[in-house]
């Protein structure tokens, strides 16, 4: 039987990596690891204890047991975004390094080729989701777009363990491959509620859909029964009409 454990996870990926020249790719690769390490140090996170898997323009990291979730969501992301702004200063627009990032907390245990468990798969779906890509694409001056899982949002941001307010996030629905659930997206420097996510966001609290409420488990529950829903067998439907009606053979009341 394998070991069971819950770990704090981070994943980042660069936008447009395949469309830049080799020199820029090399600069981006070097910058990503440097900026992650510097942001971790500034946030008080022990970078040397991180287990990382690097894939060119992407990094997947499993933080050590007891790593601070608020520190990763708040000061780490603030320092990472600041580092990106500094790196991109005076660079031509097409050479800007712009990152998507995802944070999750869940089951992840060491395995023969990395980590096994639900959380590594789920954070990959958050990172590569259409909605997070759309968030960064619709904010052309942004350096970073962040998605956090329902677990992280509810336990860390919703409980005010960070200086980032819940209102700075937008609740979205993620449906990628076998994964379906809720996530919360933030784009520093932008009102994320106003961003055009191209219909990929679903209907969460942040989308102001009347009568709908999102849940951390990924389901959307409506407070009102749809007009087309059938009446339950035990119900009685009665039509009350005042006055004279000429409708021979019509049925105005059905009782089951």
Core vs surface per residue 122-158: b (16+ CB within 10 A) or e: bbbbbbbbbbbbbbbbbbeebbbbbbbbbbbbeebbe
The structure tokens listed for 98 are 């712009």
Does pLDDT of 48 surpass 80? yes
Q: What is the mean pLDDT of residues 174-181?
A: 82
pLDDT reported for residue 176: 79
pLDDT reported for residue 199: 66
The answer to whether the pTM exceeds 0.85 is: no
Write the pLDDT tens digit of every residue in 114-145.
778 889 999 999 999 999 999 999 999 999 99
**Secondary-structure percent of the chain, ordered helix, strand, coil, rounded to 5:** 35, 25, 40
Cα separation, 138 vs 19, in Å, equals 18
Q: Is 108 exposed, middle or buried (0-12, 13-18, 19+ CB in 10 A)?
A: buried
Between the CA of residue 61 and those of 12, 77, 157, what are the distances in Å? 9, 14, 21
Write the pLDDT tens digit of every residue in 227-244.
333 333 333 333 444 444
Q: What is the CA radius of gyration of the chain?
A: 24
CA 168-173-175 angle, to 5 degrees, is 140
Cα separation, 119 vs 102, in Å, equals 11
Q: Give the confidence band of 255 by pLDDT, cuts at 50, 70, 90.
A: very low
The structure tokens listed for 246 are 């000429």
* Residue 36 CA, distance from chain mean position: 19
CB 81 within 8 A of CB 144: yes
């Amino acid at each position: 039987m394998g070991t069971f454990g819950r770990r704090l996870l981070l994943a980042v990926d660069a936008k447009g990596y395949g469309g830049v020249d080799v020199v820029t790719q090399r600069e981006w690769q070097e910058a990503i690891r440097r900026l992650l390490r510097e942001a971790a140090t500034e946030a008080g996170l022990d970078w040397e204890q991180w287990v990382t898997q690097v894939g060119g323009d992407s990094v997947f990291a499993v933080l050590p047991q007891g790593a601070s979730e608020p520190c990763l969501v708040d000061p780490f992301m603030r320092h990472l975004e600041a580092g990106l702004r500094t790196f991109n200063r005076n660079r031509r627009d097409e050479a800007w390094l712009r990152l998507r990032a995802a944070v999750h907390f869940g089951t992840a245990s060491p395995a023969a080729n990395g980590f096994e468990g639900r959380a590594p798969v789920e954070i990959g779906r958050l990172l590569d989701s259409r909605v997070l890509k759309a968030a960064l694409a619709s904010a052309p001056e942004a350096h970073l777009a962040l998605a956090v899982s329902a677990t992280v949002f509810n336990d860390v941001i919703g409980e005010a363990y960070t200086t980032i307010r819940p209102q700075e996030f937008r609740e979205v629905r993620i449906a990628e491959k076998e994964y379906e659930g809720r996530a919360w997206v933030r784009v520093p420097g932008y009102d994320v509620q106003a961003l055009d996510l191209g219909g990929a966001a679903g209907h969460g609290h942040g989308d102001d859909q009347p009568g709908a409420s999102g849940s951390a488990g990924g389901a959307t529950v409506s407070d009102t029964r749809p007009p087309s829903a059938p009446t339950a067998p035990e119900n009685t439907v009665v039509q009350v009409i005042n006055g004279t009606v000429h409708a021979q053979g019509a049925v105005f009341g059905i009782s089951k």
